[in-house]
Copies of this chain bind each other. A is one copy, B any other.
C-alpha cells in the first residue's frame, strides 16, 4: 500500500567538495578546492595492521607545507580551509580537526547517530564547524568542537561554508532537492536567506551521458554533484553532472534571488577546441575567483582527476546563450577557438557583463570592499555592457531594424553610449531612430535634473 516508501530508497553517500571515487586505484581525493586538496591512500586489505594515509597538499607552496598522517579511523569526509582540515567518519559519527602543522590544537569528538544515519557533509571555517547527516540533523560547533546548536532539516547531501555563512544542499525522495543558505553570526544572530528552497540542479538521470554516469560516479555522488563552494565574492556556487556552473544571485533579498547558469563548461571546451567533439575532456571545478573558474582539466575515460594532480587551469565564464552550430565547428585552423557570429558574441557579452555586474554590486553594497578593486571591476563591467549593446545596435541598424535598434538603445546605461548610438544611427541614415534615441537621452537628462531638484 505505501508503495512509495520502498521504491524511493536513496543511498546517502558522504560528499566533500571536489571529492573523487577510488575507482580502480588505491587512492582518491577526499576534497579539493582553490587552496589545495586532501587525498587518501587506502591501506592494503588483508593486513591487520593496515590503515589509510591521508595527505594534505596545497597549490600555493610559498604559504603552506604539505603534511600527512596515518588514519586509523577511516575518515571519508573532509573540509579543507586555510587554517586546518576537518574530517569525519560518516558511519561512526567521529569528527576530527587538525590545524595545519599545529599538533596542539587538534581535537576529536563523537556525535550520536541513529541506526542507519550517516554523516553526509561537513564544513569548517575559522568561525564555525557544520556537520550534516542523512537524517537531516545539522549540528553546529565552534572551532574547538563545542556544540553550539542543533536543528533538523531535510537530509543533507552537501555543505559549504564561508565565514559565518553556510550553504547546504538537501535531498530526499520525500523532500525533493533543495538548498539552504544561512548565517549564524554572534552579533546579529541566526538568519536564513533561503531555507530548503528548490535547487535547480540537472541530475545524472536527466542527462544520460552513458560513460561518465555508467556506474562509478553516480554510486559515489548520486546527485552528480562535483563541487559546491562560495565564490571569492561570497556567492554560493554549484557544479553538477551537466558540467554547468550555477551561481546564486541576489540571495540577500529573497524576492530577487535567482540561480544563474554562469557557464556551460562543456560548451567552452568545445569552443576552445575549435568545435571538435571532445567528449573525453572535462572540467573538474575548484572555485570561482571573480569571473574565472579555477579547475583541473581532466582528460580520458573518468570524469574526475587522477594521480598525480595536473596543475589548475583557468577559464573565463560565458553565459550559455550560444548555440553549437555545426558550420562554425568546421574551421580551417582546427586548433583555434570557434569563430562565432559577432552578434551572438555581443549578446553573450551583454548578458555576462550585466549578470557579473549585478553579482558584484550586491556584494559591494552589503559586505563592502573585499579586495579593494571592486569599484574598478564594476566600472569595467559597465563599460563592457554598453559596448556590447552598441555592437548589437549597430548590427540592427545595418539590418534597417529600427524597432529592434530602439529597444536596444533603451538598455544602454551611460550617456556617452546614447551619444554613440545616435552617431551610429546617423551613419546608417535612420533618422527616425536618431530622433528616438535623442528623445531618450533628453528624457533621461530631464529626469536627472528633476531628481536632483
Footprint of B on A, CB under 8 Å?
A: 1-11, 93, 105, 107, 110-112, 114-116, 135-137, 139, 142-154, 170-171, 173-178, 186, 189-193, 195-198, 200, 202-209, 218-219, 222, 242, 244, 246, 249, 254-261, 264, 267, 319-324, 347, 350-351, 392, 396, 401, 403-404, 407-408, 410-411
How far does the alpha carbon of A407 sit from the alpha carbon of B256 in the complex, in Å? 37
Q: How far is the CB of A135 from chain B (nearest CB, A)?
A: 6
Sample of 14 more A-B contacts, CB < 8 Å, known A146-B347, A192-B254: A2-B10, A5-B204, A5-B222, A145-B404, A146-B392, A146-B404, A146-B407, A148-B351, A149-B351, A151-B259, A152-B261, A153-B259, A175-B176, A195-B257
B257 and A147 within 8 A (CB): no
A205 and B321 within 8 A (CB): no
Q: How far is the CB of A423 from chain B (nearest CB, A)?
A: 21
How far does the alpha carbon of A219 sit from the alpha carbon of B403 in the complex, in Å? 41
How far does the alpha carbon of A410 sit from the alpha carbon of B142 in the complex, in Å? 11
Q: How far is the CB of A355 from chain B (nearest CB, A)?
A: 8
B200 and A198 within 8 A (CB): no
How far does the alpha carbon of A3 sit from the alpha carbon of B10 in the complex, in Å? 7
Given A93-B323, A404-B146, also A206-B392 (CB < 8 A): no
How far does the alpha carbon of A111 sit from the alpha carbon of B322 in the complex, in Å? 7
A146 and B198 within 8 A (CB): no
Q: How far is the CB of A430 from chain B (nearest CB, A)?
A: 15
Q: How far is the CB of A229 from chain B (nearest CB, A)?
A: 17
Output the residue of A136, A222, A246 with the most chain B CB within 10 A: A136
Given A174-B203, A200-B136, also A324-B144 (CB < 8 A): no
Q: How far is the CB of A140 from chain B (nearest CB, A)?
A: 10
- CB-CB under 8 A from A93, the residues of chain B are 323
B112 and A320 within 8 A (CB): yes
A196 and B198 within 8 A (CB): yes
Q: What are 13 A-B residue pairs whose CB atoms fall within 8 Å in the complex? A: A2-B219, A3-B10, A5-B203, A5-B204, A93-B323, A107-B404, A142-B407, A146-B411, A150-B321, A151-B261, A153-B200, A174-B176, A191-B256
- CB-CB under 8 A from A255, the residues of chain B are 191-193
A112 and B323 within 8 A (CB): yes
Nearest CB in chain B to that of A170: its residue: B198
B246 and A152 within 8 A (CB): yes
Nearest CB in chain B to that of A113: its residue: B323
How far does the alpha carbon of A249 sit from the alpha carbon of B195 in the complex, in Å? 14
Nearest CB in chain B to that of A171: its residue: B174
How far does the alpha carbon of A350 sit from the alpha carbon of B149 in the complex, in Å? 10
How far does the alpha carbon of A244 sit from the alpha carbon of B258 in the complex, in Å? 32
B205 and A5 within 8 A (CB): yes
B7 and A408 within 8 A (CB): no
B152 and A209 within 8 A (CB): no
How far does the alpha carbon of A452 sit from the alpha carbon of B218 in the complex, in Å? 59
How far does the alpha carbon of A207 sit from the alpha carbon of B93 in the complex, in Å? 17
B112 and A242 within 8 A (CB): no
Nearest CB in chain B to that of A261: its residue: B152
B320 and A9 within 8 A (CB): no
Output the residue of A145, A202, A257 with the most chain B CB within 10 A: A202
A261 and B150 within 8 A (CB): yes
A192 and B246 within 8 A (CB): no
- CB-CB under 8 A from A219, the residues of chain B are 1-2
- CB-CB under 8 A from A170, the residues of chain B are 198
A222 and B152 within 8 A (CB): no
- CB-CB under 8 A from A408, the residues of chain B are 144, 146
A260 and B320 within 8 A (CB): no
